[in-house]
Copies of this chain bind each other. A is one copy, B any other.
């Protein structure tokens, strides 16, 4: 069993992006600028955004953090988005989700200029990904592809089972794994809460990508010998042994599943660290106008 070390790959990617930014600086070109919009004070969101801003600084990007209180109106938020769309200095921006209930996330996502949509959530980017055109691929699926690529995991013709059909992980992951590409070219099965034959499907899988958000869902009797297991789950479980009072728990019962795997991602430090670096990569692509002019 080989552990897929997301932290090490993310560190390597960070180094590569830092070098790219140095080259941009030396050439006198514009330094990529990422803006993040944060509404309210949700603990998770605060942590994620702080981490994104810090990583921007570390790789040499310019970053801006725009904060709104919980009671910001949808209109105010949309006005902010239109301003960021027009601001030539901003290469890409994200609006941290979730948003308060009185604001339509879908409306917000669609208001973002797709050419600055480094989260890859805009329907144009989702659609372009589906038909195989250059686009911003959302961070978690892009991070998983990067892990498969860097560990040179064979995918062509393999059976990849995706557990979960969310818009941000399950569906894009399924589409990406079936594309005529590497990583890709898999037979892809998507299972979810309504699936009658989930266990049999998992047992026939060469690659399992678990994105259900159900702690320790995948047990050893659901995994065949030699499978590759990618765990996207990150549920905060209360814990008395950590300083923060919680512990990140994956969707895989790691202790019993890992001995059967050829490769497996741990939680934390598997898929998680890749997500921010995928966002950084998208910001670099946005700054360089590599995808859209």
Residues of A bordering B, CB below 8 Å? 106, 122-128, 130-133, 156-159, 165, 167, 171, 174-175, 178-180, 185-192, 194-198, 200-201, 204
Contact = CB atoms under 8 A, between A and B. Distances in A.
A178 B196 contact: no
Interface of A is mostly: mixed
Top-4 shortest CB links A-B: A127-B127, A123-B127, A126-B127, A187-B195
A198 B131 CA distance: 23
Nearest to A188: B190
A114 to B, nearest CB: 9
How many copies of this kind of chain does the complex include? 2
A192 B201 contact: no
Contacts of A122: 127
A114 B243 CA distance: 52
Contacts of A106: 131, 133
Contacts of A197: 159, 187, 204
Nearest to A191: B187
B192 A178 contact: yes
Contacts of A123: 123-124, 127-128, 130-131, 133
Contacts of A189: 187-190
